[in-house]
Amino acid sequence: MRSSTEKAKETAKRELKAEPLESVIDKMITENYDRSKQSVERERFFEIPDKMVMFYKYSYGQQSRFFSELQKNKALYGSKCKGCGMVYFPPRSRCSECYSDTEWVRVKDEGTVVSSTTSWYATSEFFDKVPYAVGYVKPLDADTAMLQRIDLKSSEFVEPGTPVIARFKEKRIGVVSDFWYEVKE
């Protein structure tokens, strides 16, 4: 009969199918780190490159249909309260006003900008996109507005009240950035 420690060793060997992504990142940042600077500051304080990294396989739960319709059908779905009739966009499974259940409803691609801003500074992930506009857009047949990117084209700002229409990326993976709005001509 195998001991539990032997089982544990075998499991460890079997389960790891690739180099852990954390180790890959570790190598990248430590290889590029300027050690000479570290030793100059050493008298007063000692610094090291470090990171906090997490990976997920995230389920959208009861909001899932929004993303499947977006990805498969280029369709925007909200949810309508069976009690008070409020149309939520983004959708929610239960009304936050009267706590009745909601049902899925398709909302229009056309909407109105509630308010927006134009970002000229961003984190590295978005830095090559500046300037870009983000704003709250309310579809014509919904009661709440959703944050979304609004194509600036040649302008620098999108005024509140501007009519917009949804556009969809060719390659959609089921994330909110699969679509955006542009000003309706």
Q: Which residues would be at the binding site for another protein (CB under 8 A)? A: 28-29, 32, 41, 44-45, 47, 49-50, 52, 58, 60, 63, 86, 88-90, 96-97, 114-127, 129, 131-132, 134-138, 143-149, 156-157, 159-160, 175-177
Minimum Å gap between C-beta 47 and another protein is 7
Continuous segment of H or E residues that includes residue 30: helix 21-32
- Cβ(181)–Cβ(91) under 8 Å? no
Strand arrangement of the beta sheet that strand 87-88 belongs to: 87-88, 77-81, 102-106
**CB-based contacts of 21, cutoff 8 Å, min separation 6:** 53, 55
Nearer to another protein, 176 or 183 (CB): 176
Whichever of 73 and 119 has its CB closer to another protein, that residue is 119
Helix (H, G, I), strand (E, B) or coil at 12: helix
- Look at the chain and count its residues: 185
Return the number of the residue (15 or 31) whose C-beta is nearest another protein. 31
Nearer to another protein, 11 or 64 (CB): 64
Q: In the bound complex, what is the minimum distance in angstroms from residue 13's beta carbon to another protein?
A: 30
